[in-house]
Structure 1
Amino acid sequence: MSSFPISESSATQVLELQPVHHTPQQHDGQPPSSSNSHRTKPLLSMLGRIPRKTKVRNNSEIVEAEASTQQTEDRNETLPSPSVAFEELPRWNSPKVNAYRTAATFWSFVIMGANDAAYGALIPYLEKYYHLSYTVISLVFLTPFAGYSSAALLNNAIHMKFGQRGIAFLGPLSHLIAYTVIALHPPYPVLIIIFALAGFGNGIEDGAWNAWIGNMANANEILGFLHGFYGLGAVIAPLAATTMVVNDRFPWYTFYYLMIGGAALELLLSTHAFWRSTGAAFRAAHPRTSASSGPRMKEAIASAPAARTTWLCSVFLLLYVGVEVTLGGWIVTFMMSVRHGAPFSAGMVETGFWLGITVGRVVLGFVTPRVGEKLAIAVYLPVAMALQLLFWLVPQFYVGAVAVSLQGFFLGPLFPAAVVAATKLLPKHLHVSAVGFASAFGGGGAAIFPFVVGAIAQARGVQVLQPIVLAMLAAAWACWMALPRIGRKRD
């Protein structure tokens, strides 16, 4: 028996294989480089073309992102099942480049959080500036759905063609273009169309970085920090926007000057961090592990048993993100119109909600993996529902402010837990397709449900926010309980 360490990207597999006796042959017109080449060449032919540039760390090869540009096919892993197999998951700081890349994704999520939370803080001022009704102003939530939908369908294709480099360039570029146009305060029809481009940037980054970090060791904890930075952006945005525009100190669109600077920094950091993560490197690191063929997206959403998990996670995230952005988007208007709060105080209630989400993601990110994702979320959701009832039935401004902040705390870990559940229930070659689709599809909840609330509020008043959110939480709990049993992923 001989052992061959094989590394793809940042994971290491050790396979015990029977020695293969083979007559040395020339490869690419060159003679064998050593007497052991007759053993390794059949293995290399099964693995496909291995990237040329490699380096050794801890006696294992780490495949660099500068993979062969000649490898364009979506290859299947044809190795037989090994007698002994162990996969060492990558970590946020191993290999070292991951620390830089993780920091870049954290900043991207700050921008994404600020993007989503700014709507709620600015809606009262957009209404005044454009002289619009609740229904029409709600289109700012609906149009990003087109961007999220496009991201859900294109995420895997971008990975296969351009790798993570493509995501790291296209996502921030979409943000930068969108914020530049918004800062010019165009006519309202142009404004709602350009929000779709911002939604596309959010969608492809959401799916890509969730899938990447979801495959790391201690994924719950790292995803907790990732989404904690989303919450941080969501805390900063309404605070900054409210401070800038309350009492007409600055026009509403001046907030997007800050967003332009943040998006420019995001473009620089992300592109530089993931520049070597090409499409060839992604294909080499994520071969198929099943006998299926055809597009991976089709396998993830239309082939059993993977489709069941993909769609349940997608609908769960659709409902969860819908709750998150609906509350964050309409809470200021609700607290001003129904609870009769002052504009600045109402803005601080939204800040408290997003702060609760941020703290919950970080703190409960350490609790969830120890309890188990299935049980933890099965408990967090009913607690959030009880707090929603308290918020609804006790018509006091300060009670509502505290209840919504605590609700954010227990809602915080839901998105990271759903990503980890998907990576545990699905094979690795479907992680980007399924998690990317679920994340982007879930992002549609940030568009559909806030719009629905706005449309209904036009006829019935903004107090319809409470029963709608409660019903969405109950439906999310039902989706979660319908998932298969979740096993543990070895770190």
Structure 2
Amino acid sequence: MDVSTRTKTLTRLGPVLLAYAAFIALGMPDGLLGIAWPTMRLDFGVPLDAVGMLLVAAVTGYMTSSFLSGALVARLGVGKLLAISCALTGTALIGYTLVPQWWMMVALGVVAGLGAGAIDAGLNTYAAAHFSEGLVQWLHASYGIGITIGPIIITTALTTYDSWRLGYRIVAGFQLVMALAFVLTLSWWRDGHEEQTDGPREKRLTDYKTPLAETIRRPRVWLSVALFFLYVGAETSLGLWAFSLLTEARGVAPRVAGLLTGSYWATFTIGRILAGLYAKRLGVDLLVQASLGFALLGALLLWLNPFPLANLVAVTLVGFAIAPVFPALISGTSQRVGAHYAANTIGMQMAVTGLGASLIPTLIGVLARRFSLEVVPVVLSLLFLTLFILYRLAMTPRVENGNGQVA
């Protein structure tokens, strides 16, 4: 293999591998707070529920940068945006370990959220434009690896060195390394860097510079955004409420319920890895509809609970079924709204994931307190049914002109 061939191969594979590494790094901080919080709050002298302030700050930053990511990609380019975002996140995580006052920690939460949101939306935008459906599935499986590694790092830091700060500094180091990697590989992330062929290059969704104001006037865009709001809410709700449902409402032993809840996330991660093998063969449309159909079946099984092992089968089935949905929805954004509006739409979709992940589980909690925890599978069934219907509406035939706009 000559130098030219090796260079071309690296240029094609480099962004894929670096994107996977970035998504691992993106997932790592999300696995820290839950384990570090008991020690962290004692160091800052704040009550147990003060974590809500930090979460709100982070979600605010995340939603802001995600929503604006289309405009930021158009102005800065994907490579520069990712480099800046990783640097922001790494700096904020280091700042957590240095500031003496809680309000400073909360302020840094906004910075960390800004960085994470731009990384998430920026990489998803690039992946939707350049990666196959299977590669996008594996990209999101990489996040699962990161969120698994994070708790290991923080647990080791606490048990071996009695320091949550060390764990955060290690993860911050990964973020800063990623920032440097993006700086050194800026040429990889420019549209048009691929090997040139005769004739004009096919226009990618990241080539469009559509104003955000134009995008938000499109009904199909908001329909696509609604899919993400409801999907992430459903995904998070089962992970959050499964343990309580099984132990408090159905008398399942805590250890068994813990294993069942763990099986949800385990099959979820496995499902994304396997989906990378068959996503292209099935196509985004069939993959999403089949996944939502099986998820609905699993939610109904959890609701009816007709036989002793129904809980195990239902939770495992839902986890495996929904695994490919989020990456597939990302890959199919341009099919739903048109390439002209896809980059901005992906940013908006990522922005509402924070809302869906917080509001829908909270609503289920309110309903469970008013009625019983048995509302959990009922609401999940309604969510998956609604998602299936909305997706069919989003994929209704449309006319698109040569500029990637819906006529």
When structure 1 is superposed on structure 2, of 310-319 and 440-449 the one drifting more is 440-449
Gaps (5+ residues) in structure 1?
1-56, 59-92
The 8 Å contact of residues 63 and 350 in structure 2, kept in 1 or not, is answered as no
Match of 1:227 among 140, 153, 168: 140
2:392 matches 1:477: no
2:75 matches 1:164: no
Query: Take 2:397 and 2:134, find their aligned partners in 1: how far apart are those partners?
Result: 17
Which SS does the other structure have where 2:48 is aligned?
A: coil
Which SS does the other structure have where 1:482 is aligned?
A: helix
Match of 1:299 among 198, 214, 237: 214
- Show the counterpart of 1:155: 69
Query: Take 2:259 and 2:171, find their aligned partners in 1: how far apart are those partners?
Result: 20
The 8 Å contact of residues 122 and 252 in structure 1, kept in 2 or not, is answered as yes
1:159-238 superposed matches below 5 A? 159-183=73-97, 190-216=104-130, 219-238=132-151
1:230-249 superposed matches below 5 A? 230-238=143-151
* Aligned partner letter, 2:109: F
- Structure having the larger proportion of residues in helix: 2
Map Cα deviations across residues 357-406 of structure 1 (whole Å, 9 max, x no partner).
22212212333433332233222113223323444565999865664343
The 8 Å contact of residues 141 and 447 in structure 1, kept in 2 or not, is answered as no
- Show the counterpart of 1:439: 350
The 8 Å contact of residues 288 and 329 in structure 2, kept in 1 or not, is answered as no
Q: Give the 3 Å change call, closer, same or farther, for CA 483–358 of structure 1 in structure 2.
A: same
* Aligned partner letter, 1:144: A
1:51-450 superposed matches below 5 A? 96-118=10-32, 130-132=46-48, 137-138=51-52, 141-183=55-97, 190-216=104-130, 219-238=132-151, 250=162, 255-274=167-186, 277=189, 295-302=210-217, 307-329=218-240, 339-342=252-255, 351-391=262-302, 394=305, 400=311, 403-450=314-361
- Show the counterpart of 2:405: none
Q: Give the 3 Å change call, closer, same or farther, for CA 223–422 of structure 1 in structure 2.
A: same
Query: Take 2:377 and 2:311, find their aligned partners in 1: how far apart are those partners?
Result: 11
The 8 Å contact of residues 292 and 321 in structure 2, kept in 1 or not, is answered as yes
Cα distance, 1:224 vs. partner? 0.9
The alignment covers a number of residue pairs equal to 383
* Aligned partner letter, 2:179: L
Q: Give the 3 Å change call, closer, same or farther, for CA 222–276 of structure 1 in structure 2.
A: closer
Normalising to structure 1: TM-score of the pair? 0.63
Q: Give the 3 Å change call, closer, same or farther, for CA 477–252 of structure 1 in structure 2.
A: farther
The 8 Å contact of residues 62 and 113 in structure 2, kept in 1 or not, is answered as yes
Cα distance, 1:483 vs. partner? 0.9
Map Cα deviations across residues 420-478 of structure 1 (whole Å, 9 max, x no partner).
22123444443322222223333442343345556667777877655444443333223
Query: Take 1:400 and 1:244, find their aligned partners in 2: how far apart are those partners?
Result: 36
Query: Take 1:241 and 1:347, find their aligned partners in 2: how far apart are those partners?
Result: 21
Cα distance, 1:416 vs. partner? 1.6
- Show the counterpart of 1:27: none
Cα distance, 1:168 vs. partner? 1.4
Which SS does the other structure have where 1:215 is aligned?
A: helix
- Show the counterpart of 1:28: none
Map Cα deviations across residues 5-63 of structure 1 (whole Å, 9 max, x no partner).
xxxxxxxxxxxxxxxxxxxxxxxxxxxxxxxxxxxxxxxxxxxxxxxxxxxx89xxxxx
Normalising to structure 2: TM-score of the pair? 0.75
When structure 1 is superposed on structure 2, of 411-420 and 118-127 the one drifting more is 118-127
Query: Take 1:123 and 1:455, find their aligned partners in 2: how far apart are those partners?
Result: 25
Identity within the alignment, %? 22
The 8 Å contact of residues 239 and 347 in structure 1, kept in 2 or not, is answered as no
Query: Take 1:313 and 1:264, find their aligned partners in 2: how far apart are those partners?
Result: 33
Cα distance, 1:184 vs. partner? 5.4
* Aligned partner letter, 1:210: N
Cα distance, 1:254 vs. partner? 5.5
Q: Give the 3 Å change call, closer, same or farther, for CA 351–450 of structure 1 in structure 2.
A: same
Cα distance, 1:312 vs. partner? 1.8
The 8 Å contact of residues 292 and 384 in structure 2, kept in 1 or not, is answered as yes
Which SS does the other structure have where 2:130 is aligned?
A: coil
Map Cα deviations across residues 301-334 of structure 1 (whole Å, 9 max, x no partner).
21xxxx2332222111122222333444555676
- Structure having the larger proportion of residues in strand: 1
Q: Which structure has the larger Rg over C-alpha atoms?
A: 1
When structure 1 is superposed on structure 2, of 440-449 and 153-162 the one drifting more is 440-449
The 8 Å contact of residues 287 and 429 in structure 1, kept in 2 or not, is answered as no
Q: Give the 3 Å change call, closer, same or farther, for CA 330–137 of structure 1 in structure 2.
A: farther
Map Cα deviations across residues 240-281 of structure 1 (whole Å, 9 max, x no partner).
5567769x9956666434422322232222332236656999
The 8 Å contact of residues 142 and 451 in structure 1, kept in 2 or not, is answered as no
Query: Take 1:398 and 1:184, find their aligned partners in 2: how far apart are those partners?
Result: 49
Query: Take 1:329 and 1:120, find their aligned partners in 2: how far apart are those partners?
Result: 13
Query: Take 1:253 and 1:326, find their aligned partners in 2: how far apart are those partners?
Result: 30
Map Cα deviations across residues 87-139 of structure 1 (whole Å, 9 max, x no partner).
xxxxxx96632321221111121122333455566678889995435xx6555
